[in-house]
Structure 1
Amino acid sequence: MAHFHAAVDDTNDYTPNVPRTYAWIVFALTFGLLISDYMSRQVLNAVFPLIKGEWTLTDYQLGLLSGIVALMVGLLTFPLSLFADRWGRVRSLALMAALWSLATLGCALAQTYEQMFVARFLVGVGEAAYGSVGIAVVLSVFPKHLRATLAGAFMAGGMFGSVLGVGLGGLIAAHLGWRGAFAAMALFGLCLAVLYPIVVREKRIAPRRVTTNTPSATEKRPLRTLFSSRSVRCAYAGSGLQLFVGGTMIVWMPSYLNRYYEMGTDKAGAVAAVILLCSGVGMILCGMLSDRLCLHSPARKISLAVVYCLGSCGLLSLAFVLPHGPAQLVLICLGMTLAAGTSGPASAMVANLTHYSVHGTAFATLTLANNLLGLAPGPFITGKISDLIGLQGAFQLVPLVSIAAAAVFLYAKRSYLRDIARLAAPVPDAPATAAPLETRS
């Protein structure tokens, strides 16, 4: 007999019965496409020194090539995710993957900075809604109590993709040039884009609606749950601010190693890949810790998010006042392990405080905040500061943003339980015998 995951959403009125094996296949393919997403995005960082030398670019111009992707993701993720929630998440994901892969191939063919900028712009358009729609697909086929773990693991795909993009990108560039690095990432993405809709079927992952006589407030107006509570708004803001730190380190670490450790492109890419791998592992471990410790204490996940923010701030701040060497690199690895640890708890908060039918749009809103507050401004603000005081000085300032993120999460903790209870409450005209909803995270 097949084993099934009984996935239950926030209001318990959607109960898909998904075979366990198929659920993990869906996760693996969706995770694989996320890796492709970030490989295509981050390979640029591994070849920064080569492009900078060939086209005589400033750090600010390099930062724009990276930041334009995050900016387009931030601007387009909401409307494209809303479209995917209605048009079909599986078809949308396959189309997105094809677009960013072809655009990455365009990067390999670019002959000028302007052509590269347009190609990177299109990479951002293709990647805009993938993270939000992809995580909605993953969470739809697994139980609610695994949300922080799955969200952390799925989001870690971005880190692992960055590891492969930076590590393999630097290695390929050393042998085939930076154009060959872009072309390799494009080919990988195109293969998965063709395979995904063949294996993952919309009708198999779509939840089955269960008729109920006890409608909740979220059932009446699901879109209102996107911004209706203080704690969900704080989850967006806190996550975005914290990713300013992690996102900036991802973009500029190869260049930092190249300049201050005098590493070649391939070695800098390999060491940066190890640092990014620490961040990806931290996402998974922090998400698992959140689910385990918060099973009977939902608000505790916010306290853990605060610990992750302040811990990463302390470790990275100390790292960048130390002289260059092994001790500094160890502290950077430890700091990056915690830097992205808020992804799991923040994603679980968003899932618990919004309606299933708009989860793609809800995670798009989270992605919007992540990009507009963190991933988009981080690289070019840091690049601008680097042009003024050097990359070392810029890296000493970046971790301080985590203090603001911790303050936002603390503010959310004051109303988190109250907001969950309010969203689960039945509407005024619902029968008095309505059963209370599960409020555990």
Structure 2
Amino acid sequence: MHTHPIEAGTSMQDADDSSPRAYAWVVFALTFALLLSDYMSRQVLNAVFPLLKATWGLSDTRLGSLSSIVALMVGVLTFPLSVIADRWGRVRSIVLMAALWSLATLGCAAAASYGQMLLARAFVGVGEAAYGSVGVALIISIFPARLRSTLTGAFMAGGAFGSVLGMAAGGVLAVHMGWRAAFGMMAGLGFVLVLAFRLVVTEARIARNRGAQAPQANAPGAASETRRPSLRSVLAGLFSTVSVNCAYLGSALQLFIMGAVIAWLPSFLNRYYGLPPDRAAVAAAVFVLLGGTGMIVCGMVTDRVSRHAPGRKWTMAIAFSLLSFVLLGGGFHAGPGPLQLVMLGAGIFVVAGTSGPAGAMVANLTHESIHSPAFATLTLVNNLVGLAPGPIVVGFIADRIGLLGALQVAPLVALVAGFAFVLGKRCYGAGLQAVHRRHPVPAPQ
């Protein structure tokens, strides 16, 4: 596995002033744009739930499965594909993945039955499987380590912004041009962005951008930093401390709530506020936009608050979890009206605010040589525990007690997430010491 020094010995922080930052931001912009396309292709489905339900007579469980199958494939394949991408080349892997999910989205437009749609959606998940982990690993390798919470939160917020665009544009296109056109337009956008990324971003330019930040080849410890770790040592490092496991779990549980709310909010507004599918999709997109903004703002606030006290990242994650429980739980129990909408908006703003702190903790509690598989593991847990079961579990419950009742139950998961972050904070010091004992180069804090 190719490794990219991030913060060890002579770190990115030490070379911050000399790094070619303009190109780094171009890479961030294009990688972020592809993430938008990723989630637009994924979440356009939610905008057309009412139309698919009417066209094929699908139950809420089957509708939820069309959303969950993508996250399931991402969860199952993210780790092996991330390891392959790290060896084959991150830039080439990103191009291939984006082309695949765009082609699969085009297949969704041509689907003639639930089975065909499910198969096409599965291939959307295959294409998207390693993109999150590879994309964030690419970004943090060319930026200063002090920006980890901000960059991780901002990058992951692309999922929420992509969901906004996918649902809003998809809902309008579906009503005026048909749901097949909605999928087709998302596929076309993906192909355009793939071409732009392929023309601008190359492995050679990324290596040159990173060169000023890497240790010299003859510097002490340089050989150990560039040596590929064995699979056994990688696996041992990924789950080596209680704290890193708590970061994985807490992040995933919060995204369980986020995934469920994003998937079912258009249907909630359609059923309980009487909005037609296009207006429901646009209204839901506004709420999801709040979620994406919250991920960025919460990441920035966390970096600022914890600049001189690293343990405060855990405190912020705990606070975001408890706030999301109170606001979303109270919002879904309130009756339809302005108060409910305000509470739901505030809850969605903070529910995924834990993404930045959790991502920073994963980076801090794993050695830099395994950051790519570490983020792949975070993505795996986020999907298998969070994003994949969220929509289908809520759909399953909705078939039995109604959609409102199911959405009232979902915020309870935030209490479990908060407990995981509390436990992670208690064990954080021991976790950092364990990482330091295994690697002479100090781990980031």
| TM bracket (short chain) | over 0.9
How far is 1:426 from its partner? Answer: 6.9
Task: Please give the alpha-carbon distance, in whole angstroms, between the structure 1 residues aligned to 2:437 and 2:224.
Answer: 7
How far is 1:174 from its partner? Answer: 1.3
**1:117 alignment partner in structure 2:** 118
For residue 9 of structure 2, the aligned residue among 5, 9, 12 is 12
TM normalised by structure 2 equals 0.92
Task: Please give the alpha-carbon distance, in whole angstroms, between the structure 1 residues aligned to 2:150 and 2:294.
Answer: 11
Spell out, residue by residue over 1:113-154, the C-alpha distance to the aligned partner (whole angstroms, 9 max, x if none): 111111001000000000110000111111001000011110
How far is 1:214 from its partner? Answer: 4.8
SS at structure 2 position matched to 1:298:
coil
1:162-311 aligned within 5 A: 162-206=163-207, 207-208=210-211, 209-210=214-215, 211-214=218-221, 223=234, 224-311=236-323
How far is 1:215 from its partner? Answer: 7.8
**2:431 alignment partner in structure 1:** 419
Spell out, residue by residue over 1:242-283, the C-alpha distance to the aligned partner (whole angstroms, 9 max, x if none): 111111000000000001111011110111000000000100
Spell out, residue by residue over 1:306-350, the C-alpha distance to the aligned partner (whole angstroms, 9 max, x if none): 000000000011111111111111110000001000000001111
The number of residues matched between the two structures is 427
**2:342 alignment partner in structure 1:** 330
**RMSD of aligned residue pairs (Cα, Å):** 1.9
**1:83 alignment partner in structure 2:** 84
| Compared CA separation, residues 115 and 186, structure 1 to 2 (3 A) | same
Task: Please give the alpha-carbon distance, in whole angstroms, between the structure 1 residues aligned to 2:103 and 2:384.
Answer: 25
Task: Please give the alpha-carbon distance, in whole angstroms, between the structure 2 residues aligned to 1:216 and 1:289.
Answer: 37
Conserved? CA contact 2:85–2:93, under 8 Å: yes
Quick one: which amino acid aligns to residue 32 of structure 1? A
Quick one: which amino acid aligns to residue 311 of structure 1? L
Conserved? CA contact 1:8–1:143, under 8 Å: no
Mean alpha-carbon deviation: is it higher for 164-173 or for 417-426? 417-426
**1:142 alignment partner in structure 2:** 143
How far is 1:438 from its partner? Answer: 6.2
**2:75 alignment partner in structure 1:** 74
Spell out, residue by residue over 1:24-81, the C-alpha distance to the aligned partner (whole angstroms, 9 max, x if none): 0000000000000000000000000001001010000001100000000000000000
Structure 2: gaps spanning 5 or more residues:
none
**1:24 alignment partner in structure 2:** 25
Conserved? CA contact 1:42–1:166, under 8 Å: yes
SS at structure 2 position matched to 1:111:
coil
Conserved? CA contact 1:9–1:355, under 8 Å: no
Conserved? CA contact 2:256–2:389, under 8 Å: yes
Task: Please give the alpha-carbon distance, in whole angstroms, between the structure 2 residues aligned to 1:355 and 1:388.
Answer: 46
**1:48 alignment partner in structure 2:** 49
SS at structure 1 position matched to 2:424:
helix
Conserved? CA contact 1:236–1:346, under 8 Å: yes
Spell out, residue by residue over 1:77-96, the C-alpha distance to the aligned partner (whole angstroms, 9 max, x if none): 00000111111000000100
Spell out, residue by residue over 1:147-168, the C-alpha distance to the aligned partner (whole angstroms, 9 max, x if none): 0001111000000000000011
**1:377 alignment partner in structure 2:** 389
Quick one: which amino acid aligns to residue 220 of structure 2? N
Mean alpha-carbon deviation: is it higher for 220-229 or for 316-325? 220-229
Task: Please give the alpha-carbon distance, in whole angstroms, between the structure 2 residues aligned to 1:103 and 1:200.
Answer: 24
Task: Please give the alpha-carbon distance, in whole angstroms, between the structure 2 residues aligned to 1:420 and 1:165.
Answer: 40
1:329-368 aligned within 5 A: 329-368=341-380
Task: Please give the alpha-carbon distance, in whole angstroms, between the structure 2 residues aligned to 1:13 and 1:356.
Answer: 13
